[in-house]
Amino acid sequence: MKKKILMRGNEAVGEAALLAGCKAYFGYPITPQNEIPEYLSTRLPERGGVFLQAESEIGAINMVMGAAAAGVRTMTTTSSPGMTLKQESISYLAGNELPCVIVNMVRGGPGLGNISGAQSDYFQATRSGHGDFRSIVLAPENVQELADHTIKAFELSDKYRMIAIVLGDGYLAQMSEPLVLPDPVKSAPERSYALTGAKGREQRIIASLRLIPETSLDAHNHDLQKKYAEVKKNEVLFDTYKTDDADYVLVAYGLSARIAKQAVRNLRNSGIKAGLFRPITLWPFPSDQLEALSKKTKKMLAVEMSMGQMVEDVKLSVKGNVEVDFYGRTGGMLPEIDKIVERVKSYE
């Protein structure tokens, strides 16, 4: 059995990126994710990889685009205001169908907000950039999953030639927890699109400009949607806790889910049948599974470290079968277990 070690969230992401075969990292300093570039600044060059501190978040994501086009596994990491700056090129990466991993250790906003953990980037992770496109979004709830999801993000990103976002938060980034490091990834896929010099073959072009309305851009967008439908069919991840007989279901992801889980235990101890539904992929959102659950549930409560973002997807998913309530804290405040318990008790 592999040994458990103690690691800080940010460092676990850095180590997992190495294990996934990341060959090029570009980033810009922003709290609370700075330990990731600090970790990789020595570890990546040791392994012959590229580490470069960019002039800006915009510079970093465009360097990622270059490295992805060059045909290697590549990553950038940031926190909320930095994620906003990257949105322009996130759209270009999607239009170009280039794979890459972006880790966003979310902090509070709007504006400069503060540097405490938050979940208020759900919208900009799941509905980012201009144009019709999707990115895969994974939401880890502990340091073990931060590492596991970082590796999974690289694999999904390559499998579908899409951006994969790991959506952590400032608390997960900074907390130290025991984890078992995942196994290193041995192989990376063939990249028939990679720019390697056109020696002995036709030139390859990576471009998102599609000037002819019907046959190029409209057709391309339909192709992208077909790919997204595949992802939706194959890659939905979620977790449930005591939902089989639950009258009331809490819906929460990431750190909020850990808090909500304890609330479920407390409610069960007081004889109330509560359960937890935890989306792990925020896109594709586990809508079908949540809809099925809504048919045998009296009420749902979305718990978030935001003023209510994921709750919109919960409401869309349950199609009016059940009332969906919301409880959220922001500014670095965490949802309180007692407040969740009190809210659910009020439904009785």
* Contact of 121 with 165, CB cutoff 8 Å: no
β-sheet bridge partners, residue 5: 179
Measured CA to CA, the distance from residue 215 to residue 198 in angstroms comes to 26
Structure tokens at 144: 């073990």
Nearer to another protein, 96 or 240 (CB): 96
CB of 239 to another protein, least distance (A): 36
Nearer to another protein, 59 or 279 (CB): 59
Nearer to another protein, 196 or 270 (CB): 196
Stretch that binds another protein, among 134-142, 192-200, 214-222, 226-234 (CB under 8 A): 192-200
The DSSP 8-state label assigned to residue 321 in this structure reads S
CB of 72 to another protein, least distance (A): 5
CB of 63 to another protein, least distance (A): 4
Measured CA to CA, the distance from residue 315 to residue 138 in angstroms comes to 20
Answer for which of 205, 233, 346, 348 binds another protein (CB under 8 A) is 205
- Contact partners, residue 62, CB within 8 Å, separation at least 6: 89
Q: How far is CA 101 from CA 61, 80, 212, 220, 318, in A?
A: 10, 15, 31, 23, 30
CB of 321 to another protein, least distance (A): 43
Measured CA to CA, the distance from residue 36 to residue 15 in angstroms comes to 9
Nearer to another protein, 54 or 276 (CB): 54
CB of 88 to another protein, least distance (A): 6
x/- binding map, residues 46-85, to another protein, per CB under 8 A?
A: ----x-x-xxx-xxx-xxxxxxxxxxx-x-----------
Asked if 208 interacts with another protein (CB under 8 A), we say yes
Nearer to another protein, 60 or 138 (CB): 60
Q: Is the dihedral of CA 223, 226, 228, 230 positive or negative?
A: negative
CB of 26 to another protein, least distance (A): 7
Asked if 262 interacts with another protein (CB under 8 A), we say no
Nearer to another protein, 92 or 327 (CB): 92
Asked if 24 interacts with another protein (CB under 8 A), we say yes
Residues in the chain, total: 348
CB of 341 to another protein, least distance (A): 48
**CB-CB neighbours of 123 under 10 Å:** 12
Closest CA to 121 of 305, 340, 317, 348: 305
Closest CA to 276 of 267, 136, 142, 342: 267
Letter string b/e over residues 307-322, b meaning 16 or more CB atoms within 10 A of that residue's CB: ebbbbbbbbebbeebb
Nearer to another protein, 100 or 139 (CB): 100
Please give the distance of CA 315 from its chain centroid, rounded to a whole number. Answer: 20
Structure tokens at 34: 């700075």
DSSP SS3 for 79? coil
Asked if 209 interacts with another protein (CB under 8 A), we say yes
Answer for which of 8, 14, 15, 92 binds another protein (CB under 8 A) is 92
- Number of residues in contact with another protein under rule CB under 8 A: 40
Nearer to another protein, 53 or 270 (CB): 53
The DSSP 8-state label assigned to residue 31 in this structure reads T
Measured CA to CA, the distance from residue 166 to residue 149 in angstroms comes to 7
Nearer to another protein, 58 or 337 (CB): 58
Asked if 199 interacts with another protein (CB under 8 A), we say yes
The pair phi, psi for residue 335, each rounded to 5°, is -55, 140
Considering only residues 25 to 44 of the shown chain, the ones binding another protein according to CB under 8 A are: 26
Asked if 293 interacts with another protein (CB under 8 A), we say no
DSSP SS3 for 240? strand
Positions in the binding site for another protein (CB under 8 A)? 23-24, 26, 50, 52, 54-56, 58-60, 62-72, 74, 88-89, 92, 96, 195-200, 203-209
